[in-house]
Every structure is written in structure tokens, then in C-alpha cells.
Amino acid sequence: MTPARAALLLSTAILPLAVAACQTVRKPLRGFDKVPPGSILLDDDPGGTVAIWPVFDLPQTEQTMFRPRLDGQDIAYLISNEGFYDIYEFPLQGWTGGWNSWIQGIKPGTHVVELVDSAGQSWGQSAPLAVAVAGDPTNPSSQFPAVVFAHFDGKVVAWNIDPATQDADTETDEITVTNLVDADVVVERCLISSGHRSSCTPVGTVAPGADLLTVERVADVEAKDDHQALVIHLASDASPSYQRDLRPGALSFNFGSTCQIERIVVHAPRQTGYASNGTALALSSCYGYQSGPM
């Protein structure tokens, strides 16, 4: 299960300081009394939201701090009613697949999203991404736009997830399978009955470095009922695998009220505490290491 995202609004204690003429000035233990230079204050209400999926292979022994940037600027948030601000940042450690975060309060429009570390080194930058608010006619599903950043095994790449590109059929999902391993990957469509796979038919084989786009019809059924699923595995080894249940997305912190545009990144088996069996093969831009909506 995807762990809870980092909070954007940081709780910060405020210290009263006595000054001349018995005036009390309140200062934060951390943060700034003005929006820091080179940063942008995100407070649009209503504003747009972008989900971020960093898929990094970092040292296990120490945390690395990351800051998301919007259009080349750090992101500032109001952290107290007294008017103090801080820069949005979060720590990552080890294999980060399955962890996601949000940027909220974005002015609707087209923006570039980037992740940098504490030294200012870039770990990925998106192509221009359209950001809309819920209810905008350009985004009828209210799915959040998202960016997936990959930085591991010599691969550095970013993908936009743009809900504005969805087709008019709300009962289908457009799913792109991206193969980042040095071996062929097989995509099958299987019947899931009582938790078991059967009646599998091939959808396609994805060569190393290639993509496969498939448009899949989803059925609004309970997870315990019979339903179809995409099953993704290495051509040379059917275990481990990633299963994407073909059921419509429900309200989720990860992607909004539904998910119709999705990228599944096959990254080779990795040990992760976010997968139910401790080993994950692929990551969904909507569901992380889950098989689909809960």
C-alpha cells in the first residue's frame, strides 16, 4: 500500500520574544517572516494539484532532502496564522518507488515541475504540464495531473500524466506500459476469480526501453468479484509480476476522483516495504504498488 504523503503544511512552533517597550514579536522556530527570495507562494483557492512519483535508488543509510520546484522556483507555503513561511521539502531514503507527494494550490495553467536535492542538483524535470482545477471542462474526470521521475541504474527520465489527453469513453482507461529493464516484458489480460488468475490472453510484448499503449475497458465490480486484470511480468520469468485490476478508480489521495490516464513503469524486481510480498516489479502512476482501487 502506498504510504501517506508528506504534509505540505508544516507545523511550526512560534516563540514570543520580548523587545523594547514591552512589545511581543512572535518568531517561528523554523521558517521565514517573508516569502523567501527565489520561491513562489502557492495559495490559489481553488488551485490545481500535481502528484509526484519519484522512483529513485538512494543510499539506505542516510536521508536525502528534496525540494519540488515549479517553473524554476522553490515552493513556499504559509505555515502559521502569524504570516510565516517555509520551503516545501521532504526526505527520501533507499528505494523510493511507491512513495508519492503532492503540490497543491497551483494557479491553473501550464507549468514545469522539477525535483532538486539540497545541493540544488536536479533529479528530473517535466515537460510543460497543463494543470486544471476540479470541475474544469478540460479535465472532466478530475484526475490529478502527475509527473513520474525515474533516476536509477543509469536511467534518468520523466513522464507527464496529462488527464486532458483522455478519450471520451469514461469506461476505458488508457494505460502505457514502459519497460526499463534489459529484457522483454509480457503483458497479458487475465480473469481474476477468487483471487486466482486464469484464461490469460496476450496483449503484447514490450522490448527493453519501449512502450506499449493499451486501452482497457473497466468494470465497476467489487475486488472480491470476478474481474479482468492486466498481468505484467518478465518474458523469462512469470514471477514476480504486477497485476493491474481493471476496475474504475475511486477517490484516492494519489490521483483524484478517478484514473483514466496511467503509466506503469517496469523497473525490475526491487525489495520494498511498500509491496505486499516485499518485492515489486512495476509501479503504477495511479496506484503505486497496489493492484488498483481499494
Q: pLDDT tens digit string along 110-130?
A: 999 999 999 999 999 999 999
Same domain, 179 and 261: yes
Contact 203, 212 (CB under 8 A): yes
Does residue 46 sit in the same domain as residue 160?
yes
Question: Same domain, yes or no, for 59 and 136?
Answer: yes
Task: State how far Cα 149 lies from the chain centre.
Answer: 9
In this structure, the answer to whether residues 200 and 133 fall within a common structural domain is no
Among residues 120, 135, 164, the one where a domain terminates is 164
For residue 266, what pLDDT is reported? 98
Q: How sure is the predictor about 234, in pLDDT bands with cuts at 50, 70 and 90?
A: very high
**Both 148 and 4 in a single domain?**
yes
Rounded Cα distance between 97 and 283, Å, is: 7
Give the separation between CA 171 and CA 154, rounded to whole angstroms. Answer: 38
Q: What is the pLDDT of residue 124?
A: 96
Please compute Rg for the chain using Cα positions.
21
Within-domain flag for 229: yes
Are 117 and 209 contained in the same domain? no
Q: What is the domain count for the chain?
A: 2
Q: Work out the average pLDDT over 267-292.
A: 84
For residue 121, the model assigns a pLDDT of 95
For residue 56, tell me if it sits in a domain. yes
* Domain carrying residue 132: 1-10+39-164
All three cell numbers of 7, joined, read 504534509
Question: pTM of the full predicted structure?
Answer: 0.85
Is there a single domain that holds both residue 229 and residue 283? yes
Residue 87 CB coordination number (10 Å): 18
Q: Are residues 248 and 141 in the same domain?
A: no
* Higher-pLDDT residue of 106, 25: 106
With CA atoms as reference, report the closest residue to 221 among 250, 178, 190, 179.
250
Q: 246: helix, coil or strand?
A: coil
Give the residue carrying C-alpha cell 511550526.
Answer: 12
The pLDDT of residue 276 is above 80: no
115: three-class secondary structure by DSSP = strand
Q: What is the pLDDT of residue 22?
A: 45
Of residues 141, 120, 116, 139, the one with CA closest to residue 129 = 139
With 0-12 / 13-18 / 19 or more C-beta atoms within 10 angstroms meaning exposed / middle / buried, residue 36 is middle
Last residue of a domain, one of 120, 149, 164: 164
From 136, 164, 192, the end of a domain falls on: 164
What is the pLDDT, as a whole number, of residue 17? 41
Q: Are residues 173 and 157 both part of a single domain? A: no
Residues 5, 146 within the same domain: yes
Q: Which three cell numbers stand for residue 14?
A: 512560534
Query: Which has more confidence, 54 or 78?
Result: 54
Residues 51 and 171 in one domain: no
Q: What are phi and psi of 160, to 5 degrees?
A: -90, 140
Lowest-confidence pick of 82-86, 136-140, 268-272 = 136-140
Handedness of CA 204, 208, 213, 219 (dihedral sign): positive
Strand 39-41 to strand 73-78: parallel, antiparallel, or no bridges (unpaired)? parallel
Backbone angles phi, psi at 257, to 5 degrees: -85, -15
Give the pLDDT of residue 7.
37
pLDDT tens-digit profile of 1-22?
343 334 343 333 333 444 444 4
pLDDT interval class at 274 (50, 70, 90): low
The rounded distance, in Å, linking the Cα atoms of 209 and 16 is: 57
The share of the chain scoring above pLDDT 70, in percent, equals: 82
Q: For position 31, what pLDDT does the model report?
A: 61
Looking from the CA of 279 toward its CB, the CA atoms found within 13 Å total 6
The verdict on residue 26 lying in a domain is no
- Indicate which CATH number applies to the domain containing 80: 2.60.40
